[in-house]
Structure 1
């Protein structure tokens, strides 16, 4: 694995339209991410946080809340990710809400043309302006990266689509909107719901998921939403859904991903310190990162 890691924070809360998650990058840093990864032999460069301009009141455009601000921040993020990758570094993005995945993927795919994606999440994030029940853009980043939805979201970074449906796996889903379910069937997107994880076990699910995203791709991006884990493990997330992946299952998934040695980029999102308890969610995020980066007991 690339030992040169660049940490990029994005204090974005506009995609979720809920305060608190903008403090996620600070909480993850406070939980010791730099010390943990340096202790594993990684060279860490923390370039700080992308500036997110927040208006004084809600602005909604075509069923998309804060569209201008979300596009602006993600465009800046895409450029930052691309710059770090051009220097031969591994981008590790800290959120912030999940809308920032549009910028991360836009930056990565300027260097990795055929990118596989593991989307670790309780939700599909496959809504568009036509299907969204809320107008919150953090429910749209996977659809936008696939080239579906508002043209300004789709074209962040100046090109679209960024990824192909056949190169995506959604892992841990248990709350999908009707439009998302229709899109999954229409596009043939591989989804391992909690039903499959319970029935098959995490080891088999990850074997199949890694094989799926690695086939005919040039590298894999991990988009890890902390609400993919069960809320008993991570109380500090904005949209918790009961019945999620356990702490140990999460570690196993990340350990197997590290062993596969396919990751070229990663992001960890939706840590909300306001809703948290003693920063436990950020500490879990750091623990999951360490496993994804190859930490082992022996």
Structure 2
């Protein structure tokens, strides 16, 4: 029997630094945008929950070295509370961002539920300390923060550091490989790292299966999937904050996600960074939605 699905809408954008031509990053519109093009209807959620975000600002904090840390921490706590209040072990939990900093709230909730793994599917590693971030945007440091790298105020909320152990994380799909200092951070961690080239070499399905094997060997209570749509090729998903030319296609995405989503240990999936302001006609959004609905609704597998 197929699991029920709960949607959690987190229209948060304070982890991003706005571009010069923007009033604020448009990623906060993503949940409503997906609904407009039939995503919610296509997966028929049993429940929908939503946490509105505070007003957008770009306050740089010298102590933490990032922008908007206190708004991000407060939102993450509220996000965690909403998830913990409404989660069900027999439900698939679908988190709709927002920017990548919503991972912090999801991670806080999961840490309180047990020992969870993280499959981090992203066109960037997002594993850097604040000193290496030119923007100070937490959306570019979220993987670092949830695994304990960064200022204590962000990495140790409520004394829960680390939210995910590095050895329980797969970081998959990074296409920003030219900067040795940037890549060096994750290479020096205990995270299982597959950049785009090595992902292709290892195989899309096999990489997912390797992660599931790790989760089994570590006897984890479950795992969570983070999907930043900038992991997709620019030709099919250019409507993102930080574009990369190379990436995976929709068939690759199916190969990676199918084994994970049908696994009974999968707590849920988080979707971030698609910006409706860059896709006013939904040209790029609609194929993404169609693909995701097919993946999530795969019959008789997730039990």
User: Could you tell me which residue of structure 2 aligns to residue 278 of structure 1?
Assistant: 281
User: Could you tell me which residue of structure 1 aligns to residue 59 of structure 2?
Assistant: 59
Alignment partners' CA distance in 1, 2:248 and 2:191: 20
1:239-254 correspondence to structure 2 within 5 Å: 239-254=242-257
Flag structure 2 segments of 5+ consecutive residues without an equivalent: 19-24
Q: Would the aligned equivalents of 2:2 and 2:299 in 1 still touch at CA under 8 Å? A: no
User: Could you tell me which residue of structure 1 aligns to residue 116 of structure 2?
Assistant: 115
Q: Give the CA RMSD over aligned residues.
A: 2.4
User: Could you tell me which residue of structure 2 aligns to residue 168 of structure 1?
Assistant: 169
Flag structure 1 segments of 5+ consecutive residues without an equivalent: none
User: Could you tell me which residue of structure 2 aligns to residue 71 of structure 1?
Assistant: 73
Q: Would the aligned equivalents of 1:273 and 1:279 in 2 still touch at CA under 8 Å? A: yes
Question: Cα–Cα, structure 1 residues 16 and 213, in superposed 2: closer, same or farther, change >3 Å?
Answer: farther
Per the TM alignment, residue 88 of structure 1 is displaced from its structure 2 partner at its CA by 5.8
TM-superposition CA deviations, 1:248-296 (whole Å, max 9, x none) = 1111212222343331122111110011252244434434543443425
1:138-287 correspondence to structure 2 within 5 Å: 138-156=139-157, 158-175=159-176, 178-216=180-218, 217-276=220-279, 278-287=281-290
TM-score of the two chains, using structure 1 as the length reference: 0.88
Question: Cα–Cα, structure 1 residues 82 and 283, in superposed 2: closer, same or farther, change >3 Å?
Answer: farther
TM-superposition CA deviations, 1:77-124 (whole Å, max 9, x none) = 11111111268644311010001100011112211x110110010111
Per the TM alignment, residue 66 of structure 1 is displaced from its structure 2 partner at its CA by 1.4
TM-superposition CA deviations, 1:192-250 (whole Å, max 9, x none) = 11112333332323222332344311111011101111121112211121110111111
Alignment partners' CA distance in 2, 1:286 and 1:230: 16
Q: How many residues align?
A: 291
- Are residues 1:26 and 2:32 paired? yes
Question: Cα–Cα, structure 1 residues 157 and 95, in superposed 2: closer, same or farther, change >3 Å?
Answer: farther
Q: Would the aligned equivalents of 1:254 and 1:291 in 2 still touch at CA under 8 Å? A: no
Question: Cα–Cα, structure 1 residues 44 and 236, in superposed 2: closer, same or farther, change >3 Å?
Answer: farther
